[in-house]
Structure 1
Amino acid sequence: MFEMFEANGLLMTHDGRFRFMAGAILGGGSVVNWAASLKTPDAIIEEWSVDKGIATFAREGYTAAMESVCKRIGVTERVIREGFQNQILRKGCEKLGLDVTVVPRNSSDEHYCGSCSFGCKTGDKRGTNITWLVDAVDNSAVILTQCRAEKLILADTETGRRKKKRCLGVTASISNTTINKIEINAKVTVVACGSLMTPGLLSSSGLKNRNIGRGLHIHPILMAWGYFPEKNSSFNGAAHEGEIMTSLHYVFEIDSTTPNITLETPALGPGTFAALVPWVSGKDMKERLAKYARTSHIFVTVRDEGVGEVKGGMVKYRLTKADEENLTTGLRRALRILVAAGAEEVGTYRSDGQRLKCDGVEEEDLEKFLETVDAPPGVVSMSRWWTHSFTAHQMGCCRMGATEEEGAVDGYGESWEAEGLYVCDASVLPTALGVNPMITTQSTAYCISKRLAALMKKKQD
């Protein structure tokens, strides 16, 4: 984990409320992603292309890009064997008459690895490290690992040019016994450090656009759990086994087809589980840890209205009231699903060990319990009750915009301030997405790079 995530997996917002899971390995987030490969919702494509006026998301070209991406990384929707947690989510939804959807994944139909959050041990999940980056190397690209971009090389352009700067390359530090600094000169420089790190590189290099570092969206996460003892259970396996995500439930707003609330299942190893369990007593802690293998989790994530900022090495973010209400709605729905699936006990990760014994529970008792469930503040809030909150989807800190006032880069990913400088990661997404952003990020990168390659070829000709 220390080698695979930004800040060793311990990066948090300035107030300690949200912990960031952001890939920092060759292949980035696709290496640690849980294989979910959801296409950009139609309503979002419409919003970005029409309402925001961003050319990259013009429907025909962007839809074709998504198809190309899904084909290259081998996305499938067929499930041969479903894991313990996904069996429970599906069964609970069916019992309540709720829609449950199959999660498309960039892995084979028979994939049953529970370790994809640390890179797929079987090599079956097709992250960029075994797809696009291999293609690049096969076409003479050189990849430098243990290398950190420090500063963009910017030069003044001729008087009268629309852009005052031109990017000539980048300087970087490298972990090597003989070389510790390198300079790379390039006709075109593409920045793809991720939503949390790209803004710092642009700002420290002298770029001034006010949108750099602003507009962060994070798809905030809270979790519910249910204990399903093996005796007399129809659910096979253990929490850490099987494909991480194969089923999901969307909670729709009445007047929208864009999911604001999504319920899915997480990867949660025994170490993380132990760190999350609230301390009630020594006896309780031992009992909870002993039940790890048969404790199923459902997490709720929302398409957040709240926006944050990455500045000076610090991440600031606040939920809106609507976000907190959506998280509460999702958490209560998740608990209902776990109860319907037959859990012996359900609960949240609120600091007081909030839980409910389900044996013989009446609807009235369940309702009373659910009324006490909400979205508590973070660890350092000094509130009576608090909880652990997470985010694995960061986007929007260098968003595309139709004008310089609306975005840090234009509708094709190029900097408004410097010629030959492009941003090509999730930080260019104009708003929160509402679903796992891997396909959207790769499809956006596909569109940007395809156009860039055509421009460079035209200049050579």
Structure 2
Amino acid sequence: MKGKQSHARLRKSWEKKNYDRQLLSSSEMESLISICETFFPPLDPPSKLDHHDQINNSIKYFFQSSASQKPIPNEVAEVMKDRGLVEAVILVRVVLWLISTRLGTLLLCGFLCFGKEWPYITKFSHLPIERRERILKNWSSHRFFSPLRLVFYFLKSLCLYFCFSLVDDHAHNPAWEAIDYKPDTTNSKAINQERPLENGIIETFYETPTTLLQSLTSKGLSVTEDHIDNLYRIKCDVVIVGSGCGGGVAAAILAGAGQKVVVLEKGNYYTAPDYSSLEGPSMDELLEKGGMIPTTDGAVMLLAGSTVGGGTAVNWSAALNTPDPVLKEWSEEHGLSLFGSPQYKFAMQSVTQRLGVTTECVKEGFQNQVLRKGCENLGLEADRVPRNSSESHYCGSCYYGCRSADKQGTDVTWLVDAVNLGAVIITGCKAEKLRLVKHGRRRENRCIGVVARSLNNEIKRELQIEAKVTISACGSLRTPPLLMSSGLRNKKIGKNLHLHPSLMVWGYFPPQGPTSEFEGKSYEGGLITSAHRVILDQRPNSMPRALIETPALGPAACAALSPWESGNDIKKRMLRYSRTAHLFVMVRDKGSGEVKSERRISYELTQEDRENMTAGLRRALKILIAAGAVEVGTYRSDGQRIECIGKNEEEIEEFLGSVSATKGPMAACFWAVYCTAHQMGSCRMSKRENEGAVDENGESWEAEGLFVCDGSVLPSAVGVNPMITIQSTAYCIAKKLAESLKKGEFNF
């Protein structure tokens, strides 16, 4: 019953919003509406489009629709208020206010605001759309005033995202028919599936102060009410913050060792019948900040799961073992013997077996067909990617939650094991700080638990969990802020953040003609079933310069990331959506960043990273061209692309030579936003205290009894999708911790 309620809430929260508490003034809102209209304007339908026999009513409506229509501008303003960095919101508001005045429009828009009649200067919202387009285009490539570029990209991304993600009461968006997008919103095949965590889960969203106490005690927890400090005191053996790759594995191992385990999860619990396959609602419910976590300079957009199962509930299924060269580097150069040990090899075997990993694939989706064919035509190797799903799994929306319950995330594997062994999972509950006391036996401090609060506003009392051992497993973006806000001072906490930065390229394959051999649509089929490694040299066991894989890209994300040259161009570009194959290039970054707080993340690539990215982008474009794309391009903001038909080899090579991710005059003006769903290393494991945040056992150098068990402990970037690496590392940490608990090393 709760699953059905949560699904209804997911849909309702998106479709019915109250905009009474608007962030912007009326003049700022007028400017925002006019900008939205410029990004996606009402246009006369063309008489003809490529590979369309006729302009049907859906395409006519698509061209005539505008982003100035409610609720798109309201949603943009709402997201600014709820998720934007303070300085970014201030900057946008200043620009919106300025262009609501004639003088401000003159200052930011130049001669394009001049008219022939008094008062000769026209404010932005009263200018013709053609002029507004030219102004926004100038902002997007402004050489000397980068704040205008930031405002352009911020508003462009949000506006176009909501054009394609908002749905009506029937879970439909009118633009979808025109772009040939048909998400599977029918009843899940697993509609009658039982909720596998039901016996061990407490969903605070549905609880009241009275029922919460009953639910906690009914799960076998020792709970007392503290009326003076207004909190619940809960006793257990192990408390784990986070239920993803690391937390799920640790919960199963430690519960299996006879420990009473409590898992705290900030997100909510969904099962296959709850998932809607709707891009906007799913991103909003299943990802941290709706998938909109930018670095402080806006150059990188980060995706992180925020639900039971964490990233494993929304990732793209790739289940690759830690590469041997990486294990050698970590064991020899970093001095971490764990990664060269038989125990780690055994852990990888155990993890892949529990996840049911297979390299077989009965049928590949459109994008993976293109990648494999392009590699074959070039004489390049296309690897089969192991996945934590069955060989017949053809779900194209697993990143919105797997509706077939086939993908084996921690929510249907390790956490089920843990619950069956007595573990308790408390959802909708955010850890606020760790409880530290001075003078541990081996460390300066000792951790004795965690203080958390329910995100249900009706529950006013905090939860104070007292435990022998506390594990932070809330990921590389959230573990450092939790440790720092609790008073830990190790200077390596938050540092050494690696992201596997990625850029995309695209190729258009019309549904008629030679490219019709590729079956399906861009959003159908297994997400990553093929990959190509861009090899630096032919030395055995060398790491590739870049890894080329296929992304999961809904229409809203595609529009938000796409270059914008004009309203007409973005509409024509999106009409090709279902037959546009995308490839993303991922590099094992030498550069790094820092997590300063939950909302402040900085990051910088090295020149070597950019050179490797350039090599990967050029190779990916070659693959698309070899597969038969009629047009290919990058996501650079100036719309860099080339029509392939009729071009000779010299012209193609000249175009490929212009593709670059390195810094330079062009990069300053025509930049693309990097994306990443892999965060690693921000509390790295180290041999010595001055080199990392935790020791080789995963225990904090500053506080005994405090362990970190997520991707943040990895010494550097993995170079491949890190799910198996994180789970294997967590497996080793938890196994050793279970032995220590058995010996009584962490008693109260």
Same fold (TM over 0.5): yes
Residue equivalent to 1:54: 336
The one-letter amino acid paired with 1:181 is E
| Residue 360 of structure 1: how far off its partner (Å) | 1.8
CA distance in 2, matches of 1:377, 1:394: 23
Match of 1:40 among 300, 312, 322: 322
Residue equivalent to 2:426: 144
CA distance in 2, matches of 1:342, 1:246: 20
- 1:274 matched to 2:559? The reply is yes
- 1:165 matched to 2:445? The reply is yes
Contact 1:36 1:103 in 2 (8 A): yes
Contact 1:376 1:386 in 2 (8 A): no
CA distance in 1, matches of 2:557, 2:695: 40
The one-letter amino acid paired with 2:502 is I
- 1:301 matched to 2:586? The reply is yes
Residue equivalent to 1:459: 744
The one-letter amino acid paired with 1:240 is Y
CA distance in 2, matches of 1:376, 1:147: 43
- 1:358 matched to 2:640? The reply is no
Matching of residues 62-461 of structure 1 within 5 Å = 62-157=344-439, 161-176=441-456, 177-232=458-513, 233-254=516-537, 255=539, 257-313=542-598, 314-375=600-661, 383-459=668-744
Q: Percent of aligned positions with the same letter in both sequences?
A: 56
CA distance in 2, matches of 1:209, 1:281: 49
The one-letter amino acid paired with 1:234 is E
Per mean C-alpha deviation after superposition, the further-off stretch among 28-37 and 275-284 is 275-284
SS in structure 2 at match of 1:193: coil
| Residue 376 of structure 1: how far off its partner (Å) | 6.8
Per mean C-alpha deviation after superposition, the further-off stretch among 17-26 and 2-11 is 2-11
Higher relative contact order (CA 8 A, sep 6+): 1
Contact 1:376 1:385 in 2 (8 A): no
Residue equivalent to 2:208: none
SS in structure 2 at match of 1:248: strand
- 1:8 matched to 2:290? The reply is yes
In the superposition, the TM-score normalised over structure 1's length comes to 0.96
Per mean C-alpha deviation after superposition, the further-off stretch among 103-112 and 283-292 is 283-292
The one-letter amino acid paired with 2:423 is A
Structure holding more helix per residue: 2
The one-letter amino acid paired with 2:450 is V
Contact 2:545 2:615 in 1 (8 A): no
CA distance in 2, matches of 1:200, 1:326: 31
Q: Rg bigger for which structure?
A: 2
SS in structure 2 at match of 1:143: strand
| Residue 371 of structure 1: how far off its partner (Å) | 1.3
Residue equivalent to 1:18: 300
| Residue 59 of structure 1: how far off its partner (Å) | 2.8
The one-letter amino acid paired with 1:243 is G
| Residue 28 of structure 1: how far off its partner (Å) | 0.8
Per mean C-alpha deviation after superposition, the further-off stretch among 211-220 and 48-57 is 48-57
The one-letter amino acid paired with 2:742 is K
Contact 1:18 1:391 in 2 (8 A): yes
CA distance in 2, matches of 1:27, 1:376: 37
| Residue 9 of structure 1: how far off its partner (Å) | 1.0
| Residue 236 of structure 1: how far off its partner (Å) | 0.3
Per mean C-alpha deviation after superposition, the further-off stretch among 89-98 and 177-186 is 177-186
CA distance in 2, matches of 1:276, 1:376: 19
SS in structure 2 at match of 1:57: helix
SS in structure 2 at match of 1:44: helix
CA distance in 1, matches of 2:690, 2:566: 54
SS in structure 1 at match of 2:582: strand
The one-letter amino acid paired with 1:406 is E
The one-letter amino acid paired with 1:107 is S
Contact 2:471 2:706 in 1 (8 A): yes
CA distance in 2, matches of 1:402, 1:99: 38
Contact 1:261 1:326 in 2 (8 A): yes
CA distance in 1, matches of 2:444, 2:700: 11
| Residue 179 of structure 1: how far off its partner (Å) | 3.9
Contact 1:347 1:353 in 2 (8 A): yes
| Residue 289 of structure 1: how far off its partner (Å) | 1.0
| Residue 50 of structure 1: how far off its partner (Å) | 2.2
The one-letter amino acid paired with 2:646 is G
Contact 2:480 2:597 in 1 (8 A): no
CA distance in 2, matches of 1:55, 1:184: 33
Contact 2:614 2:662 in 1 (8 A): no
Cα deviation code 1:86-134 (max 9, x no counterpart): 0000000011111110000000010000001111111110000110111
In the superposition, the TM-score normalised over structure 2's length comes to 0.60
CA distance in 1, matches of 2:733, 2:650: 54
| Residue 173 of structure 1: how far off its partner (Å) | 1.2
Residue equivalent to 2:43: none
The one-letter amino acid paired with 2:377 is K
The one-letter amino acid paired with 1:358 is C
Structure 1 gap segments, 5+ residues each: none
SS in structure 1 at match of 2:432: strand
The one-letter amino acid paired with 2:495 is R
Contact 1:377 1:386 in 2 (8 A): no
CA distance in 2, matches of 1:282, 1:7: 28
The one-letter amino acid paired with 1:333 is R
| Residue 374 of structure 1: how far off its partner (Å) | 1.1
Coordinate RMSD, CA, aligned: 1.6
Between Structure 1 and Structure 2, how many residues are aligned?
A: 457
CA distance in 1, matches of 2:534, 2:323: 14
The one-letter amino acid paired with 1:444 is T
C-alpha distance 298-261 of structure 1, shift in aligned 2 (>3 A): same
Cα deviation code 1:55-82 (max 9, x no counterpart): 3323311011000000001100001001
Contact 2:325 2:542 in 1 (8 A): yes
Per mean C-alpha deviation after superposition, the further-off stretch among 125-134 and 279-288 is 279-288
| Residue 180 of structure 1: how far off its partner (Å) | 4.1
SS in structure 2 at match of 1:296: strand
Cα deviation code 1:125-176 (max 9, x no counterpart): 0000110111111111110111111100000126xx4411000000011123
The one-letter amino acid paired with 2:532 is H
Contact 2:661 2:667 in 1 (8 A): no
CA distance in 2, matches of 1:360, 1:128: 50
Cα deviation code 1:22-70 (max 9, x no counterpart): 1111111111110000000011111112221213323311011000000
